[in-house]
Amino acid sequence: MFTAPTELKSAYDVVIIGAGGHGLAAAYYLAREHGITNVAVLEKGYIGGGNTGRNTTIIRSNYLTPEGVKFYDASVHLWQDLSEDFDLNLFYSTRGHFTLAHTDSAVRTMRWRAEVNKHYGVESELVGPDFIKRSCPSIDISCNGHAPILGALYHAPGSIARHDAVAWGYGRGACQRGVEIHQQTAVTGIEVKGGKVVGVQTSRGHIATNKVLCAVAGSTPRLTDMVGIQTPIYIHPLQAMVSEPMKPWLDHIFVSGSLHIYISQSARGELVMGASLDPYELHSTRSTLDFTEGLSAHMLDMFPFLSNVKVNRQWGGMSDMTPDFAPIMGKTPVEGFYLDSGWGTWGFKATPVCGKTMAWTVANDSPHELITGFSLDRFRNYSLTGEKGAASVGH
Amino acid sequence: MSRLPQMPDEWVDRSKTLRFRFEGRDYVAFSGDAVSSALWASGVRTLGRSFKYHRPRGILSMANHDVNVMVQDGQRHNARGDVVQVRDGMDLTAVNTWGGVASDKVRFLDRLSPFLPVGFYYKAFYSKRWFPMWERMFRAITGLGRLDTNTPHIHTPKRYDFCDVLVIGAGPSGLSAALAAADAGASVALVDENARAGGSGLYQLGGDAARRQATRELLAKARQHERIRIFEGTLAAAWYADQWVPLVDADKMTKMRAGATVMASGAFEQPTVFRNNDLPGVMLGSAMQRLIYRYAVQPARRVVVTTANADGYRLALDLFDAGVQVLAVADLREAIPACAAVDAVRARGIDCLPGTGVYEAHADGRGELAAVTLCKVRDGVAETSTARRIDCDGVAMSTGWAPAANLLYQAGTKMRFDERLQQFVPDALPEAVFACGRVNGVFGLDARIADGARAGTAAAAHVLGKALSAPPVPAESEAPSHPWPVVAHPSAKNFVDFDEDLQVKDFENAVQEGYDNIELLKRFTTVGMGPSQGKHSNMTALRILGRLVGKSPQQVGTTTARPFFHPVPMSHLAGRGFNPQRRSPLHGRHAALGAVFMPAGAWERPEYYVVAGKSRTDCIHDEVRRVRTKVAMIDVGTLGKIEIRGPQAAEFLNRVYTARIDLLKLGGTRYAIMCDESGVLTDEGVIARLADDVYYFTTTTSGAANVYREMSRLNAEWRLQCGIINLTGAYSSVNLAGPDCRKVLGPLTDLDLSAAAFPYLAVRQGSIAGIPARLMRVGFVGEWGYEIHVPAEYGPTLWDTLMKAGEPYGIGPFGVEAQRLLRLEKGHLIVSQDTDGLTHPFEVSMDWAVKLDKPFFVGQRSLKILKQMPLKRKLAGFRLPAGYSGQVPQECHLVIVGGEIAGRVTSIYWSPNVGCHIGLAFLPPELATPGSRFEIRVTDGSMVAAEVCETPFFDPEDLRQKEQS
């Protein structure tokens, strides 16, 4: 499935740092759509071992800003064809996605999102408690009396997918087209001369290149430091946990901002559960007990019958947050250094469209039209793309 | 099988017989029996079905992580047969069967398994057309137990606990460690996940009953030791930073904070890999020993032992003593090293076969073990010409161990692979973490006890800050793990991972496809991802991968061990649940007045007050009318209330708020807003100056906690001379408003309420009916009014007093909805409703509240830049035509201009005082001028015309807040 190149070449047309879904997707589209195959993807760990393998696999396009909705909608359309593109079953499973509103202000935000979504042809609607109860009869609409559900944004195209397979599919497709993936290869420095990228220093030797795409999620600050550019990215841990498998009972994806939970049931029958970001900056993927305690308590408020369900495993990832909760994509003040970052907690769903638009951006040295709203200079220009209201849970 | 004569330390109580059902049949058990032991004693061998191929499964380990036997116990699913004790009247079924464990209707999957190789799922049924159908089918058979959605919300208590030294595992090394630490003066908590302490010291006897004596003595001493507490049946579920370990038992979770941790968690015996190594009757050698000594159950009648270490011989002796016929001990090693156990086995006339392994096991008609074929085996390859079939009903696998190092990994221990031991052992331990016994690579009984004493002493020395020493640990001579406990077979079914039904060829295929490092291999094959988290499979998988890619286990490395060590119920993690709910001191008054409550953050606030026979809207309009024409009162106690004191209090507020707080005069108040660094409006409130160095101010209800937290953070950075005190819960506040409010308040207070003495926006401290109060003249609802703050305990008295005094004037309460309407009539915005995550003050016409010429305030730099840029949108008032009767737009409906989104409605109400629908909306700046017309799109897609107008909508000159002369 993957070819494992043994030697690093001395030069590549493009070096992509990070063999997660984003980096591999960019490599895949560079090769497939732009004929650029002299590409090295460098990965300090293993394929898909970062946030690609740590997220809760939810795919949706019910965002708040026009930029966001158009972008994620393009992603969803790519997702739908991806299994056939790859000849690989990604278990792309359309389950329907509820973002629950427990307060009247949340209801207002859901209406806002529904209206913006509909405007761009994305299937979203504001629904009431009756609709939610019909869709999931076992839910406690009153949430144990603590936070009665007043309504929800229902997004029928909301889906889940087998996250690891996404990285594998892109990796295989890229390899087949001549891209080299080098695992266990850490970038230790990026050479910049006269404001231009000229090379990359790695744990396995030096590479000459004029184009570097940085797609490393929580490690972004370490790489931007290497080229001396500043971003407003800050890193918070995000944790998740999974239960033992059980027979499927939960068809939909549920998200609650007030209770800080999201939950879906995987094809293996496990409940995949997440919560809000840890409230502190930290460059670590360690797990905490209070995460499982808080998340379990809120889960039982909404689904009391999960009391006996056992939690099998928990893990954490590093989220690269931005002040406006929108990503940072495209060119940077350093010529030849391209950023695909600021993905915070929402990067997985954007994997295909990110790969496609970043490949276009790198190939043409000009931002793809879908990502102009996400440029780094928006922070300088005070033209932010406010997606905080569409973040799945509280931040 | 049958029950053996009484064993000295058996866990069952033969005086108590229990009855239970399994798969519709009745069985008996003794009190203390695990489900698995009771069924095995009753001769039931097929106890479960496997996850993927639905193969019949029996006992594997009896070691608390045996996922072959998972049962549905009423509302508990995936209950482990080797952990759960039988209760009288239990009615159990095996999970994951269709139509019962004996005749599972989907057992045909086992025959399809050659066509379902690893990764099969990724390669089939992915066309858009077929996937949904296939997925439905897949979801029907996936998963294990069935969730009962009628299960009640179980509230499980939590405890906090502390100890100097936490010892995990109460086997010989753990007991020894606990005693050494306690003797050195440390307080010790000793936990063991088994129902009873003692560990392998009480069940791996090697035919020598005296061997248990050492462990018994340690246990007796530990039970009597005043500084040792023993937690049996308690799982150390994980290790978190700073020695924070959740201890989980049947009834509760104890969160233990330890000074040091000693891991004495032992090792998991590992299955030998051969064809049909999963048939019921094939089990780990240690499982047989547990059955014999803990439950007094004969594991089988005729057993073949497959081994590669001395443990297998000691096991054979234990079996012999239990009356089991040991047919042969097949040893994978070319030469059997001499030792006492081997001699003893031979002395009992048992065949010991060097260089021999099980080539395959054979099933009877029920799919249970009936025979094995033994072959000469060299490096995993069987010489089939030497095949020899032996009828048997038991195979004991005893070819090696893997350390139970999960918590060591979680603590950040660096492990190294010891080639001689063929085991990972701790290389560099984190501070305050210690390891001993098998997990530390020490196997001999005496050596384990000495190793425990060493670790316990070191842990005590660490915690107590003393220099202590322990006798040296004798050198380890045993090497119990075989480097290649795998026997190839062309027809496969040689299982590596029992949870996930993974065979050797699955790993070969995966590596061939490029999943050639341990993390990718794990994810592609799902090895170790089942309920036992790889406890019986990861080590073999690692050996297989190492062989396939030509690397040593050290080079292959291990996957990350994550919490939990053993799955933990959500009820234990949730505990009793913590849902902080705040109630104003006046909550009871509101309830008595018929309030309908609405959530406001953690608070409950009266939305409106029900009047019998009136609609919600009518009730709200009545409340509005009362404020405008008489006098009314609202509880505003949920507003954040903060006091800042100190010589630099003014400086602090000057930096936090956008206004010139330093210029605020004594006795004055000021409406002020707060921004974040990007210039976004985040909160608002009224600041009152009570003394030169004392300020008292309010925040929004929803922002209170954040504002206090952020201020505390900022002053931790700035270190200004001031203290910040959160008085939100300490004060009760009401807003008394309406033309008659002075008539109500006047007679009750010593304050002069004349406009000259107590002007608009002034603050005064005085007393109301003897209650000390802070009063601020505010105008949020657009009437003459006072926000009155009193200590919380006086709140109800103040409320009652004002209500009584107001009776002649028709006073009544008003709720949040009426207040929202009243403020809208005055054009006042609500932060977070009429603003969003990008709104800066200039967009909402609050330029006047921003003093850019101050030396510094949070957001100043951004606002200076924004001030120079053209506005992108503007919040403006609008109205619908009077008498409009069509679909009314709602908050967040979009403003559409030229087919594109141009803004949105943020507030809208029908105003009884203006006589039409009024609202606020974000509009393009060029549209935000009075008289402009625009269109709002409502939910069904139709458009509603609206007109921009000046605000306030009502009483534009604020005459009602001025004294009329």
**Over the stretch B688-709, which tens digit does the pLDDT of each residue have?**
999 999 999 999 998 999 999 9
Torsion of CA B790, B792, B797, B803, to 10 degrees: 70
Residue B559: pLDDT band with limits 50, 70, 90: confident
Query: What average pLDDT does this structure show over B628-633?
Result: 98
B599 assigned to some structural domain: yes
**Angstrom distance (rounded) from CA B451 to CA B438:** 10
**Among A282, A305, A321, which residue terminates a domain?**
A321
B864 assigned to some structural domain: no
- In this structure, the answer to whether residues A147 and A241 fall within a common structural domain is yes
> Are B894 and A116 within 8 A, CB to CB?
yes
A309 lies within 8 A of chain B by CB: yes
Q: Is the pLDDT score of A390 beyond 80?
A: no
The boundaries of the domain holding residue A129 are 93-159+234-321
> Are B153 and A243 within 8 A, CB to CB?
no
The boundaries of the domain holding residue B533 are 491-571
The pLDDT value recorded for residue B130 is 80
A80 assigned to some structural domain: no
**Angstrom distance (rounded) from CA B278 to CA B55:** 8
**Angstrom distance (rounded) from CA B396 to CA B949:** 88
Taking alpha carbons only, the member of B861, B785, B874 closest to residue B823 is B785
Question: Number of CB pairs < 8 Å for A and B?
Answer: 254
**Over the stretch B7-20, which tens digit does the pLDDT of each residue have?**
999 999 999 999 99
Q: Is the pLDDT score of B96 beyond 90?
A: no
Mutate to test the interface with B, among A382, A384, A385 (most CBs of B within 10 A): A382
B322 assigned to some structural domain: yes
CA angle A62, B833, B873 (to 5 degrees): 80
A92 lies within 8 A of chain B by CB: yes
CB B394 within 8 A of CB B299: yes
The Cα of A35 is separated from the nearest Cα of chain B by a number of Å equal to 24
**Angstrom distance (rounded) from CA A13 to CA A210:** 7
Q: Is the pLDDT score of B116 beyond 80?
A: no
Q: What is the CATH number of the domain that holds B598?
A: 3.30.1360.120
The pLDDT value recorded for residue B115 is 73
Minimum mean pLDDT among B345-359, B575-589, B664-678: which range? B575-589
Q: What is the CATH number of the domain that holds B546?
A: 1.10.10.1100
The larger pLDDT score, comparing residue A226 to residue B120, is at: A226
> Are A246 and B127 within 8 A, CB to CB?
no
Contacts of A176 (CB under 8 A, 6+ apart): none
> Are B573 and A297 within 8 A, CB to CB?
yes
**Over the stretch B357-377, which tens digit does the pLDDT of each residue have?**
999 999 999 999 999 999 999
**Angstrom distance (rounded) from CA A217 to CA A236:** 11
A66 assigned to some structural domain: no
Residue tagged 């985040």 (tokens): B682
**What percent of chain B lies above the pLDDT cut of 70?**
100
| Amino acid type, B965 | S
B558 assigned to some structural domain: yes
**Which residues does chain B have within 8 Å of residue A395's beta carbon, measured at their own beta carbons?**
none
- In this structure, the answer to whether residues A194 and A218 fall within a common structural domain is yes
> Are B892 and A88 within 8 A, CB to CB?
no
A303 assigned to some structural domain: yes
CA atoms within 13 A on the CB side of A306: 33
- In this structure, the answer to whether residues A155 and A240 fall within a common structural domain is yes
Mapped onto helix, strand or coil, the DSSP state of residue A187 is strand
**Angstrom distance (rounded) from CA B353 to CA B306:** 10
The pLDDT value recorded for residue B126 is 76
- In this structure, the answer to whether residues A217 and A332 fall within a common structural domain is yes
The pLDDT value recorded for residue B529 is 87
- In this structure, the answer to whether residues A367 and A344 fall within a common structural domain is yes
The pLDDT value recorded for residue A2 is 67
- In this structure, the answer to whether residues B393 and B419 fall within a common structural domain is no
CB B214 within 8 A of CB B201: yes
- In this structure, the answer to whether residues A176 and A187 fall within a common structural domain is yes
**Which residues does chain A have within 8 Å of residue B603's beta carbon, measured at their own beta carbons?**
none
A49 assigned to some structural domain: yes
Length of chain B: 965
- In this structure, the answer to whether residues A264 and A313 fall within a common structural domain is yes
- In this structure, the answer to whether residues B118 and B172 fall within a common structural domain is no
Q: What is the DSSP letter of B672?
A: E
Q: What is the DSSP letter of B192?
A: -
The pLDDT value recorded for residue A389 is 63
Residue A393: pLDDT band with limits 50, 70, 90: very low
B581 assigned to some structural domain: no
**Angstrom distance (rounded) from CA B345 to CA B221:** 34
Q: What is the CATH number of the domain that holds B833?
A: 3.30.70.1400
- H or E segment to which residue A72 belongs: helix A66-86
**Among A262, A286, A321, which residue terminates a domain?**
A321
Q: How far, CA to CA in Å, does A183 sit from each of A18, A19, A167, A199, A203?
A: 9, 8, 13, 19, 11
- In this structure, the answer to whether residues A365 and A257 fall within a common structural domain is no
Q: Is the pLDDT score of B349 beyond 50?
A: yes
Query: What average pLDDT does this structure show over A250-269?
Result: 93
Q: Is the pLDDT score of A92 beyond 70?
A: yes
B907 assigned to some structural domain: yes
Give me the numbers of helices (H) and strands (E) for chain A, helices first please: 9, 20
- In this structure, the answer to whether residues B44 and B192 fall within a common structural domain is no
- In this structure, the answer to whether residues B879 and B958 fall within a common structural domain is yes
**Over the stretch B281-330, which tens digit does the pLDDT of each residue have?**
999 999 999 999 999 999 999 999 999 999 999 999 999 999 999 999 99
**Angstrom distance (rounded) from CA A345 to CA A55:** 8
The pLDDT value recorded for residue B390 is 98
Buried b (16+ CB within 10 A) or exposed e, B830-854: bbbbbbbbbbbbbbbbbeebbeeeb
Residue tagged 């109060």 (tokens): B773
Q: Is the pLDDT score of B871 beyond 70?
A: yes
- In this structure, the answer to whether residues B6 and B135 fall within a common structural domain is yes
Concatenate the DSSP letters of all residues of B781-820 into one string.
Answer: TSSSEEEEEEEGGGHHHHHHHHHHHHGGGT-EE--HHHHH
- In this structure, the answer to whether residues B214 and B256 fall within a common structural domain is yes
- In this structure, the answer to whether residues A249 and A313 fall within a common structural domain is yes
Q: What is the CATH number of the domain that holds A196?
A: 3.50.50.60
CA B916 from centroid of its chain's CA atoms: 51
- In this structure, the answer to whether residues B814 and B833 fall within a common structural domain is no
B1 assigned to some structural domain: yes
Torsion of CA A161, A167, A173, A176, to 10 degrees: -150
- In this structure, the answer to whether residues B293 and B395 fall within a common structural domain is yes
Query: What average pLDDT does this structure show over B643-655?
Result: 97
The Cα of B600 is separated from the nearest Cα of chain A by a number of Å equal to 8
Taking alpha carbons only, the member of B87, B105, B75 closest to residue B30 is B87
**Angstrom distance (rounded) from CA A116 to CA B937:** 11
A287 lies within 8 A of chain B by CB: yes
Domain tally for chain A? 2
The pLDDT value recorded for residue B560 is 84
CB A99 within 8 A of CB A257: yes
- In this structure, the answer to whether residues B802 and B653 fall within a common structural domain is no
- In this structure, the answer to whether residues B440 and B394 fall within a common structural domain is no
A40 assigned to some structural domain: yes
A83 lies within 8 A of chain B by CB: yes
- In this structure, the answer to whether residues A139 and A188 fall within a common structural domain is no
- In this structure, the answer to whether residues B618 and B763 fall within a common structural domain is yes
Q: Which of B145, B531, B581 sits opposite A312 (nearest CB)?
A: B531
Domain tally for chain B? 7
CB B257 within 8 A of CB B160: yes
A 130-189: CB under 8 A from B: 138, 144, 146-148, 162, 164-165, 168, 172, 183-184
**Which residues does chain A have within 8 Å of residue B869's beta carbon, measured at their own beta carbons?**
382
**Which residues does chain A have within 8 Å of residue B516's beta carbon, measured at their own beta carbons?**
4
Torsion of CA B408, A318, B839, A150, to 10 degrees: -60
A108 lies within 8 A of chain B by CB: yes
Q: Which residue of A has its CA nearest to B908?
A: A108
**Over the stretch A75-88, which tens digit does the pLDDT of each residue have?**
999 999 999 999 88
Tokens at A38, concatenated: 């002299």
**Which residues does chain A have within 8 Å of residue B531's beta carbon, measured at their own beta carbons?**
244-245, 312
The pLDDT value recorded for residue B1 is 58
- In this structure, the answer to whether residues A254 and A146 fall within a common structural domain is yes
A86 assigned to some structural domain: no
The Cα of A223 is separated from the nearest Cα of chain B by a number of Å equal to 24
Taking alpha carbons only, the member of B105, B107, B95, B99 closest to residue B35 is B95
Q: Is the pLDDT score of A395 beyond 60?
A: no
**Over the stretch A157-192, which tens digit does the pLDDT of each residue have?**
999 999 999 999 999 999 999 999 999 999 999 999
CA atoms within 13 A on the CB side of B778: 26
β pairing state of B48-49 and B70-73: unpaired
**Which residues does chain B have within 8 Å of residue A4's beta carbon, measured at their own beta carbons?**
514, 516
> What is the phi/psi pair of residue A49, to 5°?
-85, -5
**Over the stretch B733-748, which tens digit does the pLDDT of each residue have?**
999 999 999 999 999 9
Q: What is the DSSP letter of A304?
A: G
A62 assigned to some structural domain: no
Answer left, alpha or beta for residue B769, where phi above 0 means left and psi between -120 and 50 means alpha.
left
**Over the stretch B18-32, which tens digit does the pLDDT of each residue have?**
999 999 999 999 999
- In this structure, the answer to whether residues B38 and B107 fall within a common structural domain is yes
Residue B477 exposed, middle or buried by CB count within 10 Å (0-12, 13-18, 19+): exposed
Q: What is the CATH number of the domain that holds B360?
A: 3.50.50.60
Q: Which of B241, B569, B832 sits opposite A286 (nearest CB)?
A: B241
**Among A306, A321, A336, which residue terminates a domain?**
A321
- In this structure, the answer to whether residues A315 and A246 fall within a common structural domain is yes
Mapped onto helix, strand or coil, the DSSP state of residue B512 is helix
A183 assigned to some structural domain: yes
The pLDDT value recorded for residue B107 is 81
**Angstrom distance (rounded) from CA B556 to CA B418:** 13
Q: How far, CA to CA in Å, does B671 sit from each of B509, B627, B958?
A: 71, 22, 16
Q: Which of B143, B150, B519 sits opposite A247 (nearest CB)?
A: B143
β pairing state of B158-168 and B253-263: parallel
CB B816 within 8 A of CB B598: yes
**Among B149, B175, B201, which residue terminates a domain?**
B149
B435 assigned to some structural domain: yes
> Are A287 and B240 within 8 A, CB to CB?
yes
Contacts of B108 (CB under 8 A, 6+ apart): none
Q: What is the CATH number of the domain that holds A153?
A: 3.30.9.10
Taking alpha carbons only, the member of A369, A373, A360 closest to residue A36 is A360
Contacts of B649 (CB under 8 A, 6+ apart): B693, B694, B695, B722
Residue B479: pLDDT band with limits 50, 70, 90: confident
Interface confidence (ipTM) of the complex: 0.95
